[in-house]
């Protein structure tokens, strides 16, 4: 796929390729740093700036499964406060990368959509974002997508705030039903072990 990869990582047939998608500050890049700590130059964005400006395939050696490499593809943040035209350009860029992957006989294993549990609801443009990507994924992609909630308190003390997040998680599961089953809504706890559990959970889901 030529220059579409970064850091010398070129996806190839047989790789487990997972797209990381979400608005700025949702935890995509933090997840990537925990899953692939070897990638020292991964940028972490915030709610006021965009960390990832291009599609970035990064190998996660510690997540390697059997003989298959795990490639996590970080993508530009959606709904980052840019103008509408720039937002469309980002979606078109992602579509182009995925089309190149398809033409190179690469299979997109699935996608992870990141959402802060501290937010009150899914982003209003979520349906548009997922609809755009859904058209490029296999027809059975309801088993190839997971909603990853982030920003959970640590430790998870069963207080009023935690219960509010649990209630919000249940509401998200209801909203996500049009895309995937309830167990495709998972928590990321900002550790390498948690990142590994999320990736393995997606693979289990995609093999159903």
CATH number of the structural domain spanning residue 87 = 3.40.50.300
Q: Which residues span the domain enclosing 23?
A: 2-206
pLDDT of 132 reads 58
Count of domains observed in the chain: 1
In the sheet that holds 56-59, the strands lie side by side as 56-59, 70-74, 16-21, 108-116, 145-150, 185-187
- The DSSP 8-state label assigned to residue 64 in this structure reads -
Please tell me the pTM assigned to this model.
0.84
pLDDT in tens, 46-100: 433 444 567 889 999 988 777 889 999 988 887 655 555 566 677 777 778 888 8
Write out pLDDT tens, residues 126-156: 666 666 556 655 555 556 889 999 999 887 7
């Amino acid at each position: 796929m030529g220059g579409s990869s970064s850091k010398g990582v070129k996806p190839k047939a047989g790789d487990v390729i997972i797209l990381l998608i979400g608005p700025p500050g949702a935890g995509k890049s933090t997840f990537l740093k925990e899953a692939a700590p070897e990638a020292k130059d991964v940028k972490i964005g915030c709610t006021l700036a965009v960390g990832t400006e291009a599609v970035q395939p990064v190998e996660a050696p510690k997540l390697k499964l059997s003989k298959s490499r795990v490639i996590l593809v970080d993508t530009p943040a959606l709904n980052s406060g840019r103008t509408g035209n720039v937002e469309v350009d980002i979606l078109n860029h992602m579509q182009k990368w995925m089309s190149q992957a398809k033409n190179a006989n690469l299979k997109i294993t699935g996608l992870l959509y990141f959402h802060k549990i501290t937010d009150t609801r899914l982003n209003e443009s979520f349906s548009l974002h997922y609809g755009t990507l859904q058209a490029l994924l296999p027809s059975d992609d309801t088993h190839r997508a997971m909603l990853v909630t982030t920003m959970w308190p640590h430790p998870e003390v069963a207080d009023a705030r935690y219960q509010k997040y649990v209630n919000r998680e249940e509401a998200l599961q209801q909203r996500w039903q049009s895309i995937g089953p309830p167990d495709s809504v998972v928590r990321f706890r900002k550790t390498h072990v948690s990142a590994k559990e999320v990736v393995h959970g997606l693979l289990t889901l995609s093999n159903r």
